[in-house]
Amino acid sequence: MDSFTHTGKDKDEIKKLKETLVKEILQDFDSASIASEDRNQILVDLIMQKYRNLRVSLPDAVRAPLFHQVIDEVLGFGILQPYFDDPAVTEIMVNGKDNIFIKKNGQSVQLNLHFKSNEELIQLIHRNIQRLGFQIDPDNPVLDERLSDGTRINVVLPPIAILIPILSIQKFTPCKSTISNLLESGMLSERIATFIEACVVTRLNILITGLGATGKTSLLNGIAEFIPANERIITIEEIPELNLHQKYLLRLESKSPRQEGKHLSTPADLIHLALRIHTDRLIIGEIRGSECLALLQTMNTGCSGSMATLHAGSPNDAISRIESMCLMTGVNLPMRVIHEQIASAVDLIIQVSSFKDGSRRITSITEISGMESENVILTDIFRFEQTGIDTHGRVSGYLKPTGIRPLFTSRLEANGLKLSSEVFGTNLADFYRNEQSD
């Protein structure tokens, strides 16, 4: 092969060289059979050997990035790997060879990247699935797995995916949000933080609801700071994301059947365990299934001040999801009984949403104020009001009080937490002036 003596050599030739190296290396390199700590060095040695065999001479400025690209192809996700390594990128979505998207800083962006063919993309997926110790084949063309660092990989291949392979990578980032971070980002204001703090100290049971990537866990992590330091807290999560620092904190992690075989530690199991070992507060990272009924029963039997997140598009959707999850237990409960469990257990629903500018805000705070006939009564205390979009495309607005004082106000006052009338909109002129100044 010709010798390259400058960095301006045709990019197509470099691309062909990379493809040749990758093809030859994959014939001799089986990453699944090599210990993970040895893979990099063995691969580098093999790259150098194959490179010398091709009698190629490249300057360092060309050779070094070429070798990195080869490593990314063999031990990583190829052209996707730089985005996998970028801490600002939280999600990578591939819909066939030509449609590649990332979510970065809260916004989705389509990349000007393409795989040569869908077959090349499928081969890349298979290499990584094998390297990570998972399995996917024509009989089982769907994969939904979590890596040891919490990153989630979802793959759907033909024939279930029509014509094109689908790959989604949701990167895991431990939650580091504090109330200070949330105030700075605009998710909530000082006045709303003061209100939520009063609710937490008064031991109201709180659900934080929202769709994916709207900041549910971030808000949960932040408001958990309000829990008094002398209380014993138990957290239950599938993937540990919360980052709490209270002195009497115990952290439990649930395991799926795939991870632990017959010896399961489901969220419901851990809720019952938490009660046996005593807890003042129970925090569930996310309610996903049949543990929902166990949590409602726990809230109703004295474990007040509990908190959890739930995937739902609105407070009404949250009630519907809770109904469905309670029915998943197989316990034959009439709908009225389920509604009574919800109405007596949950005090407050805090809804969070993401906006087109990438910001995440609390968009409603709703009290569960009882039952009417067989239905749960939801009463909005605050609702987000958008006031405009600035010259930079950023959404402006604030949580507007509805003018309704929640029924639990007396509980706040009994704890010495008397909030001013303007917080609930009794004096709206003062509220608007103070809220916009926060």
| Closest by Cα among 384, 378, 380, 386 to 363 | 384
Instruction: Compute the chain's Rg from CA coordinates.
Output: 26
Supply the pLDDT for residue 17.
85
**pTM of the full predicted structure?**
0.79
Supply the pLDDT for residue 117.
94
Give the fold, CATH level 3, of 11-170. Answer: Beta-Lactamase (3.30.450)
Supply the pLDDT for residue 23.
83
Supply the pLDDT for residue 206.
98
Supply the pLDDT for residue 436.
54
Distance CA 49, CA 55 (A): 10
Distance CA 207, CA 286 (A): 10
Question: Residue ranges of the chain with pLDDT lower than 50?
Answer: 1-9, 259-260, 427-432
Q: Is 309 helix (H, G, I), strand (E, B) or coil?
A: strand
Distance CA 305, CA 290 (A): 21
Supply the pLDDT for residue 240.
84
Distance CA 101, CA 94 (A): 6
Buried b vs exposed e over 231-244: b needs ≥16 C-beta within 10 Å? Answer: ebbbbbbbeebbee
- On the CB side of 240, how many CA atoms lie within 13 Å of its CA? 10
Q: Residue 79's CB: how many other CB atoms inside 10 A?
A: 17
Sequence spans of domains, the chain: 11-170, 179-437
DSSP 405: P
Task: Give residue 154's identity as a one-letter amino acid code.
Answer: N
What are the backbone angles phi and psi of residue 332, rounded to the nearest 5°? -85, 85
Strand residues in 138-253 grouped as ranges (E): 142-146, 152-156, 166-170, 206-210, 233-237, 249-253
- On the CB side of 175, how many CA atoms lie within 13 Å of its CA? 24
Tell me the percentage of the chain whose pLDDT exceeds 90: 55
Supply the pLDDT for residue 426.
53
**Looking at the DSSP assignment, which residues form a beta bridge with residue 365?**
350, 382
Pairing of strands 307-311, 348-354: unpaired
Q: Is 269 left (phi over 0), alpha (psi -120 to 50) or beta?
A: alpha
DSSP 215: S
Supply the pLDDT for residue 401.
94
Give the fold, CATH level 3, of 179-437. Answer: Rossmann fold (3.40.50)
Supply the pLDDT for residue 437.
54
For 153-198, the pLDDT digits (tens) are: 999 999 999 999 999 998 887 777 899 999 999 999 999 999 999 9
Q: Are residues 89 and 103 in contact, defined by beta-carbon separation less than 8 angstroms?
A: yes
Q: Are residues 417 and 405 in contact, defined by beta-carbon separation less than 8 angstroms?
A: no
Pairing of strands 166-170, 89-95: antiparallel
Joined tokens for residue 134:
């998972």
